[in-house]
Chains A and B, each alone.
Chain A
Amino acid sequence: MATPVLDIEALLVRVARGDEQAFARLYDLVAPRVYGLVRRVLRDPSHAEEVAQEVLVEVWRRAPQYDPERGTPTAWIFTIAHRRAVDRARSEQAAADRTLRIGIQAIDTPYDTVADEVATRLERRQVRSCLDGLTELQRQAVTLAYFQGNTYPQVAEMLGAPLPTIKSRMRDGLARLRDCLTTGAAA
């Protein structure tokens, strides 16, 4: 079962007041997902540990700024986590290095393998079946960006699709995922 949102929200409120015990509990609830996400984007476990640690400390530091009216605590936390992971992935490598790596990735790792790997490793049945409900291009556009930290031009290149198409598939793919997840239609 998904972690009850209210628990995390209540904990975050206490964390915002500087409650370290509440933070330790919040850590136990979200750290595996934060670490898992960061690791999937960064690939390298030691970098992933370092960045996940930074993310969790940032959650502590910025907890007083969390505003429930602007979204759920998990969305807030994973927005921070994903951004940090992607920023690290992009700033870390020298340009040539990165270009080379992207080139190799595009050749050696067919996108469907990546998408499959992502899909089979998904823990949550609902998310998986909702992802299955997307068109092939929507699913690849969303997962290549989210789980691998690719920019949309990189995704376009990997999939051999025009930029506007990829932008649209990211947007309507997420929208369809949202509808599926909220109605629980595919659960």
Chain B
Amino acid sequence: MRPDVHSLVGAYVLDAVDDLERVAFERHLRECEDCRAEVGELRETAARLADAAWSVPPPSMRANVLREIGTTRQEPAAAVRPVRPQRRLHLVAAAAVVVAAVGAGAAVYVLQDQRVRDERAVAEAARASEARVRAILAAPDLQVREQPLTSGGRVTVASSKLTGAGVIMLAASSPPGDGRVYQLWTIRDDDPTSAGALGEDQAATVRIVEGLPASNAVGVTIETAPGATSPTMPLDALVPL
């Protein structure tokens, strides 16, 4: 039970969460029956709001839709329990949104979370491999972990053994300043390896890290630009995997 995740229930029902939060929340839902009940009830309520948003559709729409369903195959009902396929759809949909938005700047949500709009992080995300992100976030064994940064903000780590990789999303409240930078580390058996440093004016990033599941933890430090070869203590955040 993670109360911090559960506090998102209203935002989740209103589709007001970003993709990683959505994934994390849906994982939380799986383990929490009360939460599923609450989501169910609040969804009924939200649907009543939709009820009120009545507007006459263009007349051509009806013919178009009816024509299209004539050639659209229906998906079979799930054999065992409908929960799983639907969840998979959601996960894939969530990943697809990330992927769709990577081109258009998915990192924006994380950034907006911290009220930071860092163009460089967006550009960086755009360079990230779309297929890779899709594969990682859609993995059935995805584990999402999050820690606050001592300096303000947070770091989110999504890791999947099946894909042998993970995604680190850093969203600090502001760049460290004074010629310093944020730097990411993967830690394996107490042995830290740099996963890259950010720029001096950069407060957010999205990084794909191959082999991340083999690590025990992800660390964040503040270093003198352009970054260090070994982490300076204390860590700004430590995310155990």
A→B interface (CB under 8 Å)? 2, 16, 18, 20, 23-24, 27-28, 31-37, 39-40, 45, 49, 52-53, 56-57, 60-65, 67, 70-72, 74-75, 77-79, 81-83, 86-87, 90-96, 98-99, 102, 121-124, 127-128, 142-143, 145-147, 149-155, 157, 163-164, 166-175, 177-178, 181
| Contact residue among A36, A49, A79, A91 (Cβ-Cβ distance under 8 Å from B100) | A91
Task: Looking at the assembled complex, report how far the CB atom of B74 sits from the nearest CB atom of chain A, in whole angstroms.
Answer: 5
Task: Looking at the assembled complex, report how far the CB atom of A53 sits from the nearest CB atom of chain B, in whole angstroms.
Answer: 6
Known contacts A33-B50, A52-B61, A167-B8; A178/B41 CB under 8 A: yes
Q: Does B53 contact A (CB under 8 A)?
A: yes
Residues on B with beta carbons closer than 8 Å to the beta carbon of A36: 50, 53-55
A18 to B69, CA, bound (A): 10
Residues on A with beta carbons closer than 8 Å to the beta carbon of B17: 151-152
Q: Does B150 contact A (CB under 8 A)?
A: no
Report which residue of A71, A167, A173, A181 has the largest number of chain B beta carbons within 10 angstroms of its beta carbon.
Answer: A167
A157 to B68, CA, bound (A): 41
Interface contact A95-B9, CB-CB below 8 Å? no
B→A interface (CB under 8 Å)? 7-11, 13-18, 40-58, 61-62, 64-66, 68-70, 72-78, 82, 85-86, 93, 97, 100-101, 104-105, 107-109, 112-115, 117, 119, 122
